[in-house]
């Protein structure tokens, strides 16, 4: 699908990857880009930078009524939504000891928000013969993220939901893409808003044992703009899986080909990250054996 003249909604549009998607969709000639975020000021700033194409809406995507209101207002005041990019997501931190409250909040943002978007959009899109759903999952949803069980589990669920939607509605005109990056230079990567750009260049000032830094150690850190480039190319091709870090395809193949060997490799990677012998931002792929 070409984005020219399209009406696009982007959740998590105030910052990071979502903000880059908003800018890129506008640059591609989208008729309107609706910047949705619970960060009202950030959403407004992103929308204002888009000029007449940008509209900001404040919403918590974990509240189904908020997602419904975004869709209703957009369709009533701007027009039929062509592309709904469900992008907002959060890290979890921790393993089995992470409290249920953490698991529940990560599940709500990383999975239920995608469900609410699909529930609100699919009947409308089916009624007009088609539409496009984009969800931002993660390479952690195809592989794993050492040190962050809630993130790994919920991102796998996000990929599974996107696949299920593509299987169920693909022949009815609903196109689905799922973007699965590894490390991207946003505040999520290093956990400090505004500090990512200074800190993403290497281990100085960053902590390689942090889970969000660990993805960076595998395949390098991309800018949000590079991710947006991949997304636009993937949407143009109507490709389900969008991999801004191409190495993820190789890692996924290795995982599928020999799960025990892949798990052993991941254990080695986790140990190297914990010992600090693997550098954040290294381009070297993990050993598969
Ligand atoms: N940065 C990375 O390394 C990386 C890697 C792979 C996948 N991702 C995924 O990309 C997506 C965007 O992440 P990012 O790196 O741009 O993060 P970010 O923290 O820079 O931006 C996330 C945005 O989502 C918003 N948000 C969070 N919870 C929300 C809620 N309940 N309702 C509405 N808005 C909410 C935040 O306010 C923020 O503006 C996420 O789904 C994330 O899991 C990020």
pLDDT reported for residue 110: 98
Is the CB of 90 within 6 Å of ligand 1? yes
* List 132, 151, 169, 251, catalytic entry: 151
d(CA 86, CA 131): 14
Q: Is 183 in the pocket of ligand 1 (CB under 6 A)?
A: yes
What spacing in Å lies between the alpha carbon of 168 and ligand 1's midpoint?
A: 27
Atom 25 of ligand 1: nearest residue by CA position: 12
Active site residue 151: yes
- Helices marked H in 36-95: 40-49, 64-77
Q: Residue 117 is encoded by which pair of tokens?
A: 């978007």
222 lines ligand 1 (CB under 6 A): no
* Closest-lying ligand 1 atom to the alpha carbon of residue 17: 16
C-alpha 88 – ligand 1 centre gap (Å):
4
Q: Is any atom of ligand 1 closer than 6 Å to the C-beta of 230?
A: no
Q: Which residue has the tokens 């850190």?
A: 221
Closest ligand 1 atom to 185 CA: 1
Q: Ligand 1 within 6 A of 141 CB?
A: no
**Averaged pLDDT in 10-residue chunks for the chain of 289 residues:** 98 98 98 98 98 98 98 98 98 93 97 98 98 97 93 98 98 98 89 37 42 57 96 98 97 97 93 69 39
CA of 270 to the centre of ligand 1 (A): 24
Q: What's the 264 CA to ligand 1 centre distance in angstroms?
A: 30
Q: Write down the pLDDT at residue 288.
A: 36
Q: Is 94 exposed, middle or buried (0-12, 13-18, 19+ CB in 10 A)?
A: middle
Query: Is the shortest distance between the CB of 35 and ligand 1 below 6 Å?
Result: no
**CB-side exposure of 80: number of CA atoms within 13 Å?**
12
Please indicate whether residue 187, judged by its CB atom, sits closer than 6 Å to ligand 1.
Answer: yes
pTM for the predicted model, two decimal places? 0.91
The pLDDT value given to residue 277: 66
Strands (E), the chain: 7-11, 32-37, 54-58, 83-86, 131-136, 174-179, 241-242
What per-residue confidence (pLDDT) applies to 12?
A: 98
Measure 289 CA to ligand 1 centroid, in angstroms: 33
């Amino acid at each position: 699908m070409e984005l020219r003249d399209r009406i696009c909604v982007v959740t998590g549009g105030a910052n990071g990857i979502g903000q880059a998607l908003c800018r890129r969709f506008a640059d591609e000639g989208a008729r309107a880009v609706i910047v949705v975020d619970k960060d009202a000021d950030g959403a407004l700033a992103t929308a204002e930078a888009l000029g007449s194409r940008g509209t900001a809406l404040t919403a918590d995507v974990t509240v189904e009524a908020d997602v419904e209101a975004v869709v209703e207002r957009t369709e009533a005041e701007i027009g039929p939504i062509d592309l709904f990019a469900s992008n907002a997501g959060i890290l979890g931190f921790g393993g089995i000891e992470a409290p249920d409250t953490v698991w529940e909040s990560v599940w709500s943002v990383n999975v239920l928000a995608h469900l609410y978007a699909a529930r609100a959009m699919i009947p409308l899109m089916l009624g007009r013969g088609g539409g496009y759903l984009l969800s931002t999952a993660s390479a952690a949803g195809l592989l794993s993220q050492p040190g962050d069980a809630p993130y790994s589990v919920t991102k796998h669920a996000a990929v599974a939901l996107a696949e299920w939607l593509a299987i169920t509605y693909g022949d009815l005109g609903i196109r689905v893409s799922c973007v699965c990056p590894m490390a991207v230079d946003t505040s999520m990567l290093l956990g400090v808003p505004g500090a990512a750009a200074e800190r993403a260049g290497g281990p100085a000032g960053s902590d390689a044992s942090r889970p969000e830094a660990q993805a960076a150690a595998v395949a390098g850190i991309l800018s949000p703009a590079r991710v947006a480039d991949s997304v636009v190319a993937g949407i143009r091709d109507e490709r389900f899986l969008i991999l801004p870090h191409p190495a993820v395809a190789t890692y996924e193949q290795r995982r599928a080909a020999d799960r025990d060997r892949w798990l052993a490799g991941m254990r080695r990677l986790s140990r190297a990250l914990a010992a600090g012998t693997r550098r954040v931002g290294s381009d070297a792929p993990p050993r598969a054996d």
